[in-house]
């Protein structure tokens, strides 16, 4: 996955908010579930197939304090792990207006 890729949340996946902005992503098709923290929830809401990983990392930097320079790589790794679990796919190239 490249920083320019535009990830898209699997529409079947449920974002279940639990405590203090922490949440669980739950895929009812596979029963896979992962816990995510408030930054993860913020990222999840941007996985609409229009934002690139790079743009998402920039939004994280704007939205949170003390974001390290490694944020784009961390966001990429996070999205990659979600993709491996079937929570995320990628918009086809040229799909954005």
Partner 1 sequence: MSDQPASPVPSAPQPVMSTPRRLDIEITARCNLRCRYCYFFDNPAVPYRDLDTATWLRFFDELGACQVMDVCISGGEPFLRPDLPELLAGIVRNRMRFNLVSNGALIDDAKAAAVAATRRCNYVQISVDGSCADTHDVCRGPGSFAGALRGIRTLQRHGIPVAARVTIHRHNVRDLPAVARLLLDELEVPAFSTNAASELGSFARHADQIAMTVADRELAMRSLVELKERYGGRITANAGPLADAEYWARMETARRQGAPAFSDGGRLSACGCVFEKIAVRADGAIVPCSMLAHLELGRIGRDRLAEVWRSAPELVRLRARQAIPLQRFAGCRDCAYAPYCTGNCPGLAYSLTGEIDRPSPDACLRLFLEAGGAIDGRAARISPGAEVAE
Q: List residues near partner 1 by CB under 8 A.
A: 12, 14-20, 24, 26, 28-29, 31, 33-37, 39-40, 43, 74-75, 78, 81-82, 85
Name the DSSP class of 15: E
* Phi, psi angles (nearest 5°) of residue 47: -85, 70
Residues β-bridged to residue 8:
48, 89
Nearest approach in angstroms of CB 34 to partner 1 is: 4
Of 19 and 94, nearer to partner 1 (C-beta) is: 19
Of 8 and 82, nearer to partner 1 (C-beta) is: 82
- State which H helix or E strand residue 79 sits in: helix 71-84
CB 38 within 8 A of CB 93: no
Nearest approach in angstroms of CB 36 to partner 1 is: 6
Of 17 and 96, nearer to partner 1 (C-beta) is: 17
Of 17 and 48, nearer to partner 1 (C-beta) is: 17
Report the candidate in 2, 21, 27, 3 with the shortest Cα–Cα distance to residue 87: 27
């Amino acid at each position: 996955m490249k920083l320019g890729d535009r990830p898209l949340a699997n529409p079947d996946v449920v974002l279940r908010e639990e405590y203090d902005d922490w949440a669980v992503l739950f895929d009812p098709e596979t029963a896979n579930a992962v816990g995510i923290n408030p930054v993860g929830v913020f990222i999840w809401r941007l996985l609409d197939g229009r934002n690139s990983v790079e743009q998402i990392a920039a939004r994280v930097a704007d939205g949170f304090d003390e974001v390290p320079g490694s944020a784009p790589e961390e966001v990429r790794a996070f999205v990659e792990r979600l993709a491996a679990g079937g929570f995320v796919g990628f918009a086809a190239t040229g799909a954005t207006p």
